[in-house]
Amino acid sequence: MNIAFISYWSCPLTPLGVLTAGGMNVYELNLANSLDKSGHKVDIFTRTHKQKDEISISVHKDVRVIHLPSLNNDDHYLAAQSFFNRMLEFIEKNSLSYQVIHAHYFFSGLVGIKLKKSLRIPMVQTFHTLGIMKKLYGKVIDEKRIKAEKEIIKKADGIIAATALEVKDLLKHYSAKKDKIFEISPGVDHRVFKKLNIKTSRTKLHLPLNKKIILFVGRIDPIKGINLLIEAVSILSKKYPSFENNFYVLLIGGDINSRKFWLDREVRKISQLILDKKLECCVKFIGSRPHYLLPYYYSAANVMVMPSVYESFGLVVLESMACGSAIVASKVGGLAYLVKDNFNGRLFKSNNVMSLSTILWELLNDKKQRESLGRMAEKSSQKFCWAKQALKIVKVYNKLI
């Protein structure tokens, strides 16, 4: 089967954890590579983002990323319209033929509903995040986006939801038709994400062997709740004076070498909080890290914290589960789906800094608990395997063709 992915918002080849590049990119590449392994061909259409971008780049045997120029316009709704025209032109000019379109994120969905009409083929949508959830949890109000999502939901042939909760949200907040929705979670590449020795990992990463390490990994975005982690750590360093000299909080994500990063509103807010709480000694932005290095970081940390105010799935948590980390996550969205409190990790009530600090302290001082939660996390992660999830998605494609 030939499949056209639309990835208008972000190119899967850009460095992860920087600006808009995150879970969606990892999802697209892993799904495309798994589809390739089961004999399908995938073209991922995205916008040209560098001056000298090659138009077509092979990333796997039968997976290509195709860069198409788009309107250099701040109005993404207009630019998505022009991207649709470019995509159609490219497909016709190169006599390409696809059986199905799979759009990722709502801007791609807007392109997809036009393309499906022109090519007369079915279209599958994965939202990755939903505007209404961002409004409810992140207080980001974008009515135009929500309206666009509703239109996509009406016109798409199939919608892939990552969790039962996302299915519920689509039904409740978007009045989606139940028979269009397929619950298929993402997976994790267990060949990359596996438990490594803590000392070996710290030595490789030049991290001290004698400190407690608390880790955060992700895009630096208000939705990730990094401020909650800083506040929680500040409580601990005030309450337990010995703590201050004995821990590091490593914040992975963002391009720390660019001026733009330090001018970003969220980065400035977090940096100020670190200064106010006098935590410059121990809380560090260390920038984004290549995907293949993350298993070392997950294994080097004593505790991995995901304090998001909302998370539709949370690949970082799944990856660190696969590495046997002791995880503390907020009880929201996909995080509450992946982590069962006191079984394979710990959950704290979203936004509750006191609860986060209490759990952190408990875990940092209880090696046995960390190890047993980590073991169960590793076990629980086994059912999330890309090869299996990709087959479920192929079934959806076949059903709609």
Closer residue to ligand UDP (CB): 68 or 336? 336
* 3-class SS of residue 30: helix
* Cα dihedral 250/253/259/265 (nearest 10): -90
Binding mask 260-289 for ligand UDP (x = CB under 6 A): ----------------------------xx
Q: With CB under 6 A, what is the number of residues at the site for ligand UDP?
A: 20
Closest approach, Cβ 162 to ligand UDP, in A, equals 9
CB of 21 to ligand UDP, least distance (A): 7
Q: How far apart are CA 166 and CA 182, in angstroms?
A: 10
Which residues, 120 to 139, sit near ligand UDP by CB under 6 A? none
| Chosen residue from 26, 233, 283, 321 binding ligand UDP by CB under 6 A | 26
Tell me the DSSP string of 249-279: EEEE-S-TTSHHHHHSHHHHHHHHHHHHTT-
Binding pattern for the stretch 303-342 against ligand UDP, x by CB under 6 A and - elsewhere: ----------xxxx--x-----------------------
Q: Choose between 122 and 225: whose C-beta lies nearer to ligand UDP.
A: 225
Give me the least distance between CB of 237 and ligand UDP, in Å please.
26
With CB under 6 A as the contact rule, the residue among 31, 113, 252, 396 that binds ligand UDP is: 252
Chain residues 209-228 in contact with ligand UDP, contact rule CB under 6 A: 217-219
Spatial neighbors of 294 by CB under 8 A, at least 6 apart, are 193, 217, 252, 319
Q: Give whichever of 171 and 256 is closer to ligand UDP, judged by the CB atom.
A: 256
Query: Other C-beta atoms within 10 Å of 117: how many?
Result: 11
Helix/strand/coil for 141: coil
Classify residue 84 as exposed, middle or buried by CB count within 10 Å of its CB (0-12, 13-18, 19+): buried
- Residue in 23, 109, 225, 295 binding ligand UDP, rule: CB under 6 A: 23
Identified binder of ligand UDP from the candidate list 4, 7, 22, 181, rule CB under 6 A: 22
- CA 370: distance to chain centroid? 24
Question: Which tokens belong to 248?
Answer: 């590091």
Residues 341-370 that bind ligand UDP (CB under 6 A): none
Rg for the chain, CA atoms, rounded: 21
Q: How many CA atoms lie within 13 A of 340 on its CB side?
A: 8
* Residue (26 or 79) nearer to ligand UDP, CB: 26
Nearer to ligand UDP, 277 or 284 (CB): 284
Q: Which helix or strand (DSSP H or E) is residue 392 part of?
A: helix 386-400
Positions that interact with ligand UDP (CB under 6 A): 16-17, 22-24, 26, 217-219, 252-253, 288-289, 291, 294, 313-316, 319
